[in-house]
Homo-oligomer: A and B are copies of this chain.
């Protein structure tokens, strides 16, 4: 398959869903760049995230999962901003252009794109070691974006879902085992919490998506907001596959495992009664796991009240510790 055929083929797999009201993709795939109309009163939200083989997914991961995940991690960033997805660009570097691989990759990406919905508006295809770079563009009412910097003393710390399942799946795969279907889905087909992000606008004081590990990502909120937090690990719901594990073994996966793409946000305490409604609108369980405090730093207590000492502070590229990804 030749380069331009490949771009056209991808284009066919991405039928255009309706654009957000007032917005428009004036010019899509097939020119030097795409052209968009941003509606008055809206701001543009833009993020880019790359997946590299052997780093963000194990070698041998299904092409459909790679297609899904490359888009999902970017949609997760839009969700964390409270943005409505609008358009995305795909820069795909491939060692070869095997038809079956491309079909599966496009299927995985197109299925998520249709569900979001978000429209493929352009991109680039080249040969080289497998690397998938997606840039997602979203829209948010001017001034309404959720940021990392708004956490205030007394706010509750809330997390969606049950972080730890993706890290457990990865640990299992790297150990030569077969993850449970739920864990495998968490790793390969993370679900960006777009509905929750939209529901949190005007409600959450700060928000981030959990990509590096819950404590590490909460740490980014604390740093940006100039506050500290006390986390009670007992408040964190346990993924099914870890239910029988002793706390000391499962907490590192729950607190420091990356790749879950849940949202961690802070909420003024007076809004706690809103949580069930937010969970319903977000389609995901929400758990209060701690509270924002004045004293800088992050303190985490185990169920017995003892202090939790993290074995690592989240995944770091370049010189990571024993918890490094492959």
Given contacts A128-B131, A135-B135, A147-B27, contact A33 B47 (CB under 8 A): yes
Chain B residues with CB under 8 Å of A26's CB are: 43, 145
CB pair B89–A47 under 8 Å, yes or no, is yes
Chain B residues with CB under 8 Å of A149's CB are: 31
Given contacts A47-B122, A91-B50, contact A32 B148 (CB under 8 A): yes
A 130-156 to B, binary, CB cutoff 8 A, 1 in contact else 0: 010101111010100101110000000
CB pair B145–A48 under 8 Å, yes or no, is no
Contact size range, A: 35 or more
CB pair A93–B52 under 8 Å, yes or no, is yes
Is A250 interfacial (CB-CB < 8 Å)?
no
Is A53 interfacial (CB-CB < 8 Å)?
yes
Complex: chain B residue closest to A127, CB-CB: B317
Give the CA-CA distance A123 to B49 in the complex, in Å.
Answer: 7
CB pair A317–B125 under 8 Å, yes or no, is yes
Complex: chain B residue closest to A50, CB-CB: B91
Is A309 interfacial (CB-CB < 8 Å)?
no
Give the CA-CA distance A73 to B252 in the complex, in Å.
Answer: 43
Give the Cβ gap from A3 to chain B, nearest Cβ, in Å: 5
Chain B residues with CB under 8 Å of A61's CB are: none
Give the Cβ gap from A260 to chain B, nearest Cβ, in Å: 15
Complex: chain B residue closest to A209, CB-CB: B32
The residue that A36 contacts in the complex, of B46, B50, B94, B148, with Cβ under 8 A, is: B46
The residue that A97 contacts in the complex, of B43, B80, B127, B318, with Cβ under 8 A, is: B318
A 23-61 to B, binary, CB cutoff 8 A, 1 in contact else 0: 000110011111111101001111111101111100000
CB pair A140–B35 under 8 Å, yes or no, is yes
CB pair B3–A50 under 8 Å, yes or no, is no
CB pair A3–B35 under 8 Å, yes or no, is no
Residue among A27, A35, A54 with the most chain B CB within 10 A? A35
Give the CA-CA distance A31 to B56 in the complex, in Å.
Answer: 20
Task: Identify 30 residue pairs between A and B in the complex whose beta-carbon atoms are under 8 Å apart, listed by A's number.
Answer: A1-B318, A3-B317, A27-B145, A32-B208, A32-B209, A33-B138, A34-B47, A35-B46, A36-B43, A37-B44, A38-B43, A46-B87, A46-B122, A46-B135, A47-B89, A48-B89, A48-B123, A48-B133, A50-B93, A52-B93, A54-B128, A55-B127, A56-B126, A93-B131, A94-B318, A96-B318, A97-B318, A127-B317, A129-B129, A135-B135
Sort A-B residue pairs by CB-CB distance and give the 10 closest, nearest first: A52-B128, A33-B47, A133-B133, A129-B129, A32-B80, A135-B135, A127-B317, A50-B91, A48-B89, A97-B318
Contacts A46-B135, A47-B122, A48-B91 known; 12 new A-B pairs at CB < 8 A:
A33-B136, A35-B145, A36-B44, A37-B43, A37-B44, A46-B89, A46-B121, A50-B133, A94-B318, A128-B131, A131-B131, A135-B135
